[in-house]
Amino acid sequence: MNDSGFHANQAPFKPRRPGKPGKMGKRLAIGAVVVLLVVVLGANAFEVVPVGATGIMLTFGKVQDTALSEGVHMKIPFVQRIVSLDNRVKKLELNTEAFSKDIQTVSATLAVNYRLQNEKTFSIYKTAGLSYEENIIVPATHEVLKSVCAQYTAEELITKRAESSDKMREELDNKLSEIGISITDFNIIDFDFSEEYISAVEAKQVAEQVKKKAATENETALAQAEREKQVAIKEAEAEAEKLRIEAQGKAESTLIEAEAQADAVKLAADAEAYKLEQIAGKVSSEIIQKILAEQWDGELPQVAGGALAGIMDVGQLLSGGEADTAQDDGGAQSVQPTQQP
């Protein structure tokens, strides 16, 4: 080793010229490039499909007919790429117009809730890309609204709002489900019509209200009249019954009085007749005796009898003798005096 610190047989150090890399530098540069390529390729070889979404694999822009579920998926860097489509429920609000069955302009504000079917997302992406809402759902909603509104009059769209809403939802779901879109809810937020029609409807409603009010008042008046009629009938029946009872009572009272008077008259007549009969009997007997006494010559009749009675010798009877009776040819009996010893 010499004074300069080098061995005698060691070549002296020569500094590198600037601008000319050494072999080691080249190797490091190549290694760095390789590592960078590996990192880049590795980073592009995997794709994450987020929660609630479906992945669509594109190879040089061509859509594969498979749907990737949420999670990590491999791909060929710079050759393939994955597009994620959200499968969660989304809400769409839109304003649209249509004509009703009676040719009235209908302005409607609709709210449509929808979701993409997982197994058909690749088909939706093929058809409309990421603009499926503007390219598929909105035109279909306009078409369904016009179709359903044409089946109802403007008034029916108001009175049958729930029915028309259900029919719109059904038709829209049938139309979009074939593509891969499901309708989860459908609502008619607002219906609006022309000013002329609104005025006509208001006038009609006022007329209906007046008609119903008049009908109600008429029914009330009829009911009140019927009640008053029934009350009057009841009162008349009660009054007639009262008069009938009073008349019946008076008639019965008069009859009883007449029967009492008749009985009294009959009793009085019977008493008077009895009295007269007694007087007549007494007077007749006395008068007959008086007349007989006045006309009697003092001699008794010799024979007494009748058509069926026997003929008696009165003198013989008075003298104490017995008389024999005999019947003549005419059936009369004769009394023969009996000789006394």
Residues in the chain: 341
Is 267's pLDDT higher than 80?
A: yes
Query: Higher model confidence: residue 331 or residue 130?
Result: 130
pLDDT of residue 307: 46
With 90 as the cut, is the pLDDT of residue 150 above it? yes
Report in angstroms the alpha-carbon separations of 41 from 55, 59, 78: 20, 16, 8
As given in the structure block, the two tokens for residue 298 are: 């003092």
Average of pLDDT values for 119-129?
Answer: 90
Q: In the prediction, which pLDDT does 43 show?
A: 65
- Mean pLDDT is lowest, of 14-18, 107-111, 331-335, for 331-335
CA distance linking residue 137 with residue 144, whole number of Å: 11
Which pLDDT belongs to residue 90? 94
Assigned token pair, 101: 């069955």
Flag the least confident range among 70-74, 202-206, 215-219: 202-206
More confident residue, 9 or 274: 274
CA distance 207 to 299: 133
Amino acid letter for position 276: L
Residue-wise pLDDT tens digits, 161-206: 999 999 999 999 999 999 999 999 999 998 888 888 878 777 888 8
Which one-letter DSSP state was computed for residue 298? S
Q: What is the DSSP string of 275-287?
A: HHHHHHHHHHHHH
- Which pair of tokens denotes residue 6? 């080098």
Residue 306 has pLDDT above 70, yes or no: no
Least confident of 101-105, 109-113, 124-128, 262-266: 262-266
Average pLDDT, the chain: 79
Residue 338: per-residue pLDDT? 43
Dist. CA 49–CA 73, nearest whole Å: 8
User: What pLDDT, on a 0 to 100 scale, did the predictor assign at position 339?
Assistant: 43
pLDDT band at 89 (very low <50, low <70, confident <90, very high): very high
| pLDDT, mean of residues 56-66 | 88
Which pLDDT value is given to residue 16?
Answer: 53
CA distance 168 to 150: 12
Reported confidence tier of residue 322, pLDDT bands at 50, 70, 90: very low
Alpha carbon distance 17, 236 (integer Å): 144
pLDDT at position 17 is 53
The model's confidence at residue 278, banded by pLDDT at 50, 70 and 90, is: confident
Half-sphere exposure at residue 14, Cβ-oriented, CA atoms within 13 angstroms: 4
pLDDT in the model for residue 282:
67
Long-range own/partner contacts, residues 128-136 (CB < 8 A, 24 or more apart) = 130/83, 130/85, 132/181, 133/90, 133/92, 136/176, 136/179, 136/181
In a 3-state reduction of DSSP, which class is residue 322? coil
CA 190 remoteness from chain centre: 30
pLDDT classification of 326: cutoffs 50, 70, 90: very low
- Vertex 318 angle, CA 317 and 320, to 5°: 65
pLDDT of residue 9: 54
Give the CA distances from residue 309 to residues 301, 316, 335, in Å, rounded to whole numbers and listed in that order: 16, 17, 10
Distance CA 74, CA 44 (A): 9
> Residue 70 forms beta bridges with which residues?
none
Distance CA 222, CA 204 (A): 26
CA nearest to 302, candidates 294, 311, 310, 293: 311
* 294 or 324, greater pLDDT: 294
CB-based contacts of 324, cutoff 8 Å, min separation 6:
335, 336, 337, 338
Answer yes or no: is pLDDT of 292 > 90: no
323 pLDDT above the threshold of 90 = no
**Least confident among 49-58, 146-155, 234-243, 329-338:** 329-338
- Report which of 180, 191, 53 is spatially closest to residue 114, judged by C-alpha positions: 180
